[in-house]
Structure formats: structure tokens, C-alpha cells
């Protein structure tokens, strides 16, 4: 690409990026998919968006900071955002027992964290969201589908699936559905890092029906001035039914574009971290600056790390339990009768062995016969003389063979050739010639 083409691609990239960062009432919300391998900058880009997305107030017409909803995860990076811009929401049942740790597993006092507030219902949660701030929401550790959603699943053909047992992440499906029908007319942005946890590629059971329901919810987000940003490693990781609902696509390092993309399929593979391709009706290239890095934050919403224990079994007293050692293979001490002394053999009148008297075998004066290994060496064959006789190194025939070969070479001795065999097939003589 020429320098002019590169400049034009960055111009288009800045224009399309501006569309996803600044929202106006006439356009509504946007749905954006962000794809890239580990270390490509997906999370950093989401943190940048969370702090810089603005919107036009549909009533006053003024630009202001948008209400950002960030899905909290057990391993997260929202602590990279200044505390004064963050509010944390925990379900009432998890509020007291939730523990936050840094990457060295130090428990972080709540005085060092952003404000933390409990919620009991979606209506209460919506009333406490802060406009212009990043609202980090953790789904409840235990979640049950409301009867209304159960009826929706059954209506879509899920009568035979188990509806009561669902993953707590389904809370976010209900959250989006409730916001579509009850939110005020102002803008809101929802950010899902590792979106494949919510919309896996091949869901089964009730999850298949719920993902189909979520697809219809995402379709209505734009009309309600709600934007959705989803980041994952590749577009193949998400449920394929969501692909038509994604308006903007951002390709970072290590990703490959869709077959119908305007961008060459392998183009994003070797991008530098922080550089990306973006496309909708057109395509362009853009970059975002680095932000100050901090350690990750670990969240234990049940008060402890369940992965410390490999099961829920009771402790067992190990004092009376002896270790089990593998059995050693018994040695084969069997001895054939031919190896035993004659004094240990009991024979009948015909000379057959009828029993053994091993008591005498234990007498050290009696020794066991051991067969000697064969000392015979392989015969050697010496050039032409091997036709006449086989020799070994134990006699002087090797020297005789060498003299014979020397005489034949000097012409002193006439070499006697081996007579040719009688052959029935006359054509073999022609071959021999």
C-alpha cells in the first residue's frame, strides 16, 4: 500500500472509531465485536472505551459522559481505572462475603477500593447506576430463571430441557431484556470482556434456547439507545447466530477476519499491539494509546477460592493407613533336573526320576552343574578359496588359502574353476554371456 493509501486508511479508521465512541439520538446504540489473540490489547481497548465514550443527551442536546456497565469477572482489570470513576455492585447475598485480592494474594481492604453497593433487584440496580461512571456489576453467585423467562423458553420449544439449572451469567440476559423495556431514554453502554463465556459457540440444552432469546434482545438494543461491546479471541468463539447482529467489527493482532469481510483475511495477524482494523460499511486502520498498567484484581464472591479444595469430602485420619508398595516380581529360581547333582535325584528301577531330595542340595559340598557357553567361533571364508573348503582361525588353513590366492594372482598356480552345472533352460547360457 502506498503512503497515500496508508494515510487514507487511518482517516477512515478514525472516522469509524468516532462512530462507536460518540453516540447521537438519531443513530441509537451500536453493537461491536472486538477480536484478537492474547496480548493484542482487547482489554486495554475496552478500558479506554469505558473512560472516553460520550453521548448527546436526547433532552438537552449536550454531550456528556455515558453510563457504562462493565461485567465483573473473577479475574479483572477494572482497577486500572481511577477509583473516582468506578462504582462496584454486588448482590445482597454476596455483599458481605466477597473478598478482593491483588496478584500477590493480598486481601485488599474495602477502604482502598471504589464504592461498593448491594443490589437485590434489577429495578433497584437501575436506580443506583451512575451516569458518566463505570458501573462494575457482578452477577449473583446463585441465579434462578424467573417464571416469565421460563415461559419464553418453553414457547420456543424448550419443554424437554432442564430450565431450573442455569449458569449465573444468564443474569445478564435478563438484565439486557429488563433494560430494553424499562430504561430511561438516555444512552447506556454494556461491556463484556471474554464474551464467549456468555455466548459460547456450541451451547446445549436450555442454553441453546437462551442464546436464541439473547439474539433477539441484542437486536432491540440499538433502538433503546443501548450499545454493546463484546471482546473474545476470535469470531468463531461466539454463537454463530449473533454474527448478523454485530454492526462494527474490530480486528486486532492474531485474529482472522470473516470470509465476507472487506479486509484481507490474514491482514490482522501481524499487527502491532494497540493497532487494529475496524469495519462496517467501509474499513480503516486505527490505534489507541497505552494506559498505566496495574496488577490484576481477583474477586471471590463467595468469600473463598473454591479451587483450594479438590472436593467436598471429609478429612480422613491418615495415621493408621499404611502405604501400599508395589509387589516385587519373584525371582525365577527353578532349576532343571539336569543341573542338579545326581545325589539329589531319586530314581526308580527303570532309571526314571520320581522325586528330588533337596535336603542334600543345600549341602555346600555339593555343587550345581552349570552348562558352559559355547566357545565355537563363526567360520571365516576367504575370497576364492571359500569355494573349495571352509576354514577357521584355529588351524593353518587360512595361511594355505592366502598362498593359493597369491599363486593364482602371479600365475604360478592355475586356478581351477568350479564346473558349470547342467541346465535344462538353454536361454540361461545366453544370459550368462
C-alpha span between 185 and 243 (Å, rounded): 27
Half-sphere exposure of 263 (CA within 13 A, CB side): 25
pLDDT for the residue numbered 330:
47
- What pLDDT is stored for residue 399 in this prediction? 77
Higher pLDDT, 94 or 373: 94
- Report residue 140's pLDDT band, with 50, 70 and 90 as the boundaries: very high
- Say if residues 212 and 158 touch (Cβ distance below 8 Å): no
pLDDT at 383 over 60: no
Lowest mean pLDDT among 170-179, 339-348, 354-363, 399-408: 354-363
Distance CA 74, CA 138 (A): 9
33/425 Cα distance (integer angstroms): 84
Cell numbers found for residue 335? 532349576
Q: What is the pLDDT of residues 234-243, one digit of tens each?
A: 999 999 999 9
Mean pLDDT across the stretch 222-237?
Answer: 94
Burial-class residue 317 by CB neighbours within 10 Å (0-12, 13-18, 19+).
exposed
For residue 163, pLDDT over 70 is answered with: no
Percent over 70 (pLDDT), the chain: 75
Please state the rounded mean pLDDT for residues 174-202: 94
**Sheet of strand 75-76: strand arrangement:** 75-76, 297-300, 99-101
Q: Would you say residue 203 has pLDDT above 60?
A: yes
Asked if residue 258 lies in contact with residue 235, where contact means CB atoms within 8 angstroms, the answer is yes
Measured CA to CA, the distance from residue 31 to residue 28 in angstroms comes to 10
The answer to whether 191 and 50 are in contact (CB under 8 A) is yes
pLDDT of the residue at 293:
86
Does residue 142 have a pLDDT over 60?
yes
**pLDDT tier at 406 (50, 70, 90 boundaries)?**
confident
In whole angstroms, what separates CA 183 from the centre of its chain? 39
Q: What is the pLDDT of residue 90?
A: 96
Whole-model pTM: value is 0.70
Grid cell at residue 6: 496508508
Amino acid at each position: 500500500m502506498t503512503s497515500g493509501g496508508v494515510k487514507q486508511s487511518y482517516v477512515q479508521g478514525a472516522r469509524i472509531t468516532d462512530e462507536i465512541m460518540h453516540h447521537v439520538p438519531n443513530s441509537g446504540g451500536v453493537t461491536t465485536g472486538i477480536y484478537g489473540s492474547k496480548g493484542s490489547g482487547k482489554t486495554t481497548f475496552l478500558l479506554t472505551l469505558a473512560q472516553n465514550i460520550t453521548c448527546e443527551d436526547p433532552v438537552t442536546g449536550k454531550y456528556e459522559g455515558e453510563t457504562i456497565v462493565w461485567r465483573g469477572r473473577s479475574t479483572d482489570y477494572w482497577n486500572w481505572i481511577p477509583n473516582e470513576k468506578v462504582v462496584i455492585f454486588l448482590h445482597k447475598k454476596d455483599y458481605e462475603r466477597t473478598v478482593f485480592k491483588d496478584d500477590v494474594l493480598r486481601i485488599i481492604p474495602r477502604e482502598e477500593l471504589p464504592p461498593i453497593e448491594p443490589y437485590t433487584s434489577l429495578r433497584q440496580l437501575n436506580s443506583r447506576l451512575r451516569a458518566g461512571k463505570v458501573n462494575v456489576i457482578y452477577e449473583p453467585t446463585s441465579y434462578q430463571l424467573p417464571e416469565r423467562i421460563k415461559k419464553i423458553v418453553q414457547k420456543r420449544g424448550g419443554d424437554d430441557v432442564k430450565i431450573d439449572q442455569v449458569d449465573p451469567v444468564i443474569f445478564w440476559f435478563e438484565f439486557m431484556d429488563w433494560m430494553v423495556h424499562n430504561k430511561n431514554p438516555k444512552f447506556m453502554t454494556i461491556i463484556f470482556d471474554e464474551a464467549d463465556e456468555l455466548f459460547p459457540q456450541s451451547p446445549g440444552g436450555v442454553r441453546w434456547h437462551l442464546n436464541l432469546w439473547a439474539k433477539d434482545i441484542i437486536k432491540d438494543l440499538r433502538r433503546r439507545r443501548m450499545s454493546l461491546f463484546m471482546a473474545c479471541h476470535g469470531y468463531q468463539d461466539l454463537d454463530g447466530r449473533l454474527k448478523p447482529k454485530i454492526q462494527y467489527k474490530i480486528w486486532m493482532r492474531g485474529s482472522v477476519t470473516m470470509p465476507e469481510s472487506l479486509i484481507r483475511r490474514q491482514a490482522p495477524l501481524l499487527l502491532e499491539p494497540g493497532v487494529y482494523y475496524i469495519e462496517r460499511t467501509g474499513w480503516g486502520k486505527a490505534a489507541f494509546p497505552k494506559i498505566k498498567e496495574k496488577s490484576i484484581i481477583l474477586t471471590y464472591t463467595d468469600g473463598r477460592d473454591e479451587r483450594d479444595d479438590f472436593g467436598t469430602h471429609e478429612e480422613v485420619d491418615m495415621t493408621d493407613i499404611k502405604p501400599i508398595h508395589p509387589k516385587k516380581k519373584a525371582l525365577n529360581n527353578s532349576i532343571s533336573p539336569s543341573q542338579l547333582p545326581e545325589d539329589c535325584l531319586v530314581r526308580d528301577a527303570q532309571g526314571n526320576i520320581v522325586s528330588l531330595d533337596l535336603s542334600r542340595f543345600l549341602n555346600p559340598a555339593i555343587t550345581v552343574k552349570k552348562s558352559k557357553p559355547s566357545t565355537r567361533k563363526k567360520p571365516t571364508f576367504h575370497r576364492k578359496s571359500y569355494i573349495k573348503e571352509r576354514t577357521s582361525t584355529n588351524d593353518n588353513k587360512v595361511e594355505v588359502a592366502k598362498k593359493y590366492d597369491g599363486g593364482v594372482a602371479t600365475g604360478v598356480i592355475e586356478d581351477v574353476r568350479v564346473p558349470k552345472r547342467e541346465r535344462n533352460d538353454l536361454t540361461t547360457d545366453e544370459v550368462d554371456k
